[in-house]
Each structure stands twice: as C-alpha cells, then as structure tokens.
Amino acid sequence: MEKKDFLKEPIKHIDIKSFDSTRIIEAMKDMSFSARDTAKAAELFNTMINDKDCTIILCIAGSTSAAGCMQIYADMIKYNMADVVVASAATIVDMDFFEALGFRHYKGSAAVDDKKLRELYIDRIYDTFIDEEQLQICDNTVKEIADSLPKRPYSSREFIRE
C-alpha cells in the first residue's frame, strides 16, 4: 500500500447544530454502560448551564480534536456553553493549527502495522492518521512564528495570540 491509500478519507467534524439529539440522549438513560453515562452527563451539563453561579471549564484533549470534535468545541465557545477552556498543546498546535494550515486528519485503523506507517511518514493517533511531512510543516511554521517574536518569556495565551 502507498501513502495515498492510507490518507484518503478525511475526518469530518460533527456539526451539533445540524440535528436534535435530545430524544436519543434521553432514551439512553434507560440503557446501560456508556449510553447511560452519556445521558447522565447530558443531564448534569444542562444543570450546569442553567446554574448562573456555575463556572464551566471545558478541558480538551488533543486526540478528541483529531477525532472530529473541533466544531463542537468552537460551537460551545461561540454559544457560551463554557466559561473557561483548558487545552493541551496537542489540541492547539498539532490538531487545530494543523487543520487551519489546510491539512487534514484521516480515518485510519488501530490495527495497522506501525512500521509500515513509519516508512510512509504517517502518524497514528489511535485510529486516526496524519501526514508526518505536513505535521513537520506545521511545527516549522510554529517555529518561524516563535523565532519572529521579540526574545522574552511568553505565556501560552500570549503566544497563541501572536
């Protein structure tokens, strides 16, 4: 297999505004395992949103952005569903900025030969693939931005604004 065979189906970021999931999530409360947990989490989140004294902190792991959740996070911020965002560097650079540069994450498989992926310069995030050469372009772009700034300490917030 060639590189193009692995990097052919881009991950699509879900648009939670395009459908109403209320009925299915409510039905999940009578199920078990993660379905019931999802319903409980939705109920708790609704309680938090309606509590004016509650501060909602959205913690984002980079892998969830690569998995198709970027639009969810953007909408949560846009519609004031979170008061604070805590994101890993992977979320900000290797996922969000990576896609802002026009690169994509691709559907993959956890059951693939990592040696073969390495030979083709493909990185795997569980069952998601990215082009290592594109990731290097992303990293070099971040380096160029950092090198262009005046030499002084920066908070992550300041650096992201630059």
Under a CB-based contact definition with an 8 Å cutoff, are residues 130 and 103 in contact? yes
Q: What was the pLDDT predicted at 30?
A: 96
Range of the domain at 45: 18-51
Q: What was the pLDDT predicted at 137?
A: 97
| Residue whose token pair is 């956890």 | 110
Angle at CA 89, nearest 5°, toward 84 and 93? 110
Residue 149 located in a structural domain: no
Pairing type for strands 84-87 and 57-60 reads parallel
Residue 38 located in a structural domain: yes
Q: In the numeric block, which tokens belong to residue 34?
A: 């993660």
> Cβ contacts of residue 69 below 8 Å, gap of 6+?
13, 14
Residue 141 located in a structural domain: no
Number of domains in the chain: 1
Residue 72 located in a structural domain: no
Query: What pTM, to 2 d.p., does this model score?
Result: 0.84
pLDDT digit string, tens, across residues 35-74? 999 999 999 999 999 999 999 999 998 788 889 999 999 9
pLDDT digit string, tens, across residues 83-126? 999 988 888 877 889 999 999 999 999 999 999 999 999 999 99
